[in-house]
């Protein structure tokens, strides 16, 4: 954390409100302050309780760092007429997580922003829900940050869905960051006035190139009071760009709010938690259950021919909520992934396989030859019986070759 204030011997003087604001935005549970370690939440609550002055002074108890190290380590806190002494590891218990942040004081904190705080916060909220939650796919538990040619891409995938957000940002670098490390940062960035995103190489702190190893790169986000720094994860992220269809035969422009309401009404008609939804694009968008016990039609502007698709209801709702407002629903063919697009955002969802989406079996049987040598010996009834048996046998062969309907999902990417 970077606090604006002035040095006072081995300590510092700063506005109490600035220090409180910085502590409330920090994500770590342990605070390093002038070689002392304190519990962040405990110190934050203590500072809020102080009254009498807007200025706070924090210095080593004996006035010098060397004397403090020789005796008991304590911090002297002065706020108006109130004076207190804090011991090292105050408000730190056995269950306090081992996450650290450091307070640094400077006369003026300057951040040259290269991206909007709210813009980056919304991008993270659109990507994090679509990262994998299972421990057996560690790479898909991460968010890929790739910056080049004036744009920054945030990518997340869980095996069935793929989310890509594109933002304008003039930096170069790449890092793979674990999703749990990013929890909470989106809300903190919404409160930041200035945000600067960058990449640093391990050791020397210099900017890294996209070709360097991901585990040797740090992702750094600077705000006016806080610096967030995450170490990259070692791994190879799937080549996600190959999974996004480049062309669409049918595009529907629809309202996500109306679609979510329609899906909610269909969900009540099934007892299964995994509820598939059939979509029929023909003039409008018709949503229905596979059992045909419910159907809802919502208005939509459709370009292209008629198209049918089956999607998992929970994935469909998550996609619509992430997009929000009006969205383009793009379809290529019966087996390709469906793509939801809005400004700067792409969300790919794998469809559920049905008999209509698979290639149809050849249903043309070989012509049955007319009997010639024994035509005169057979009676008309015997001839009819012989033909009927041949037709039945041919139909049995055709039915055996037809593919059966499957409802399992196909993965977007393999970890």
CATH number of residue 206's parent domain: 3.10.150.10
Whether residue 121 is found in the same domain as residue 233: yes
Selected residue with higher pLDDT from 10 and 88 = 88
Whether residue 138 is found in the same domain as residue 223: yes
CA pair distance 205, 224, nearest whole angstrom = 20
CA pair distance 313, 329, nearest whole angstrom = 15
**pTM given for the model:** 0.69
pLDDT at 356: 58
Query: Residue 111: pLDDT band by 50, 70, 90 thresholds?
Result: confident
Helix residue ranges, H only, 364-411: 380-401
| pLDDT (tens digit per residue) in 141-153 | 999 999 999 999 9
pLDDT at 221: 94
Whether residue 232 is found in the same domain as residue 253: no
Indicate the number of domains in the chain: 3
Query: Residue 379: pLDDT band by 50, 70, 90 thresholds?
Result: very low
Selected residue with higher pLDDT from 204 and 271 = 271
With residue 40 as reference, give the H or E element that holds it.
helix 40-49
Cβ(143)–Cβ(177) under 8 Å?
A: yes
User: Range of 325's domain?
Assistant: 244-349
Is 413 part of any domain? Answer: no
């Amino acid at each position: 954390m970077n606090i604006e204030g002035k040095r006072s011997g081995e300590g510092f003087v700063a506005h109490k409100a600035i220090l409180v604001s910085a502590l409330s935005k920090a994500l770590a549970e342990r605070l390093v302050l002038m070689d002392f370690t304190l519990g962040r939440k405990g110190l934050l609550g203590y500072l809020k309780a102080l009254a009498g002055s807007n200025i706070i002074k924090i210095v080593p108890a004996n006035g010098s760092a060397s004397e403090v190290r020789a005796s008991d380590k304590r911090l002297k806190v002065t706020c108006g007429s109130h004076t207190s002494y804090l011991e090292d590891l105050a408000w730190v218990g056995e269950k306090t997580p081992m996450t650290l942040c450091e307070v640094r004081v400077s006369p003026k904190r300057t951040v040259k922003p290269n991206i909007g705080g709210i813009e980056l916060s919304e991008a993270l909220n659109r990507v994090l829900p679509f990262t994998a939650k299972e421990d057996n796919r560690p790479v898909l538990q991460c968010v890929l940050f790739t910056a080049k040619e004036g744009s920054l891409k945030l990518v997340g995938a869980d095996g069935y869905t793929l989310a890509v957000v594109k933002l304008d940002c003039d930096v170069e670098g790449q890092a793979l960051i674990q999703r749990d490390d990013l929890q909470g940062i989106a809300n903190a960035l919404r409160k930041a006035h200035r945000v600067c995103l960058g990449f640093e190489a391990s050791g020397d702190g210099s900017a890294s190139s996209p070709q360097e190893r991901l585990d040797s790169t740090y992702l750094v986000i600077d705000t006016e009071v806080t610096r967030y720094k995450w170490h990259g994860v070692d791994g190879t992220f799937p080549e996600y760009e190959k999974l996004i269809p480049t062309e669409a035969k049918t595009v529907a422009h629809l309202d996500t709010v109306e679609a979510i309401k329609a899906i909610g009404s269909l969900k009540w008609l099934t007892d299964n938690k995994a509820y598939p939804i059939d979509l029929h694009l023909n003039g409008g968008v018709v949503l229905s259950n596979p059992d045909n016990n419910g159907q809802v039609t919502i208005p939509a502007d459709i370009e292209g021919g008629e198209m049918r698709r089956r999607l998992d209801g929970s994935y469909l709702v998550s996609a619509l909520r992430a997009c929000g407002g009006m969205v383009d629903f793009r379809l290529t063919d019966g087996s390709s992934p469906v793509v939801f697009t809005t400004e700067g955002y792409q969300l790919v969802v794998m469809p559920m396989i049905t008999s209509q989406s698979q290639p149809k079996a050849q249903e043309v049987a070989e012509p049955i030859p007319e009997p010639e040598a024994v035509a005169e010996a057979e009676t008309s009834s015997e001839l009819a019986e012989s033909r009927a048996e041949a037709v039945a046998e041919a139909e049995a062969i055709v039915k055996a070759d037809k593919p059966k309907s499957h409802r399992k999902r196909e993965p977007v990417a393999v970890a």
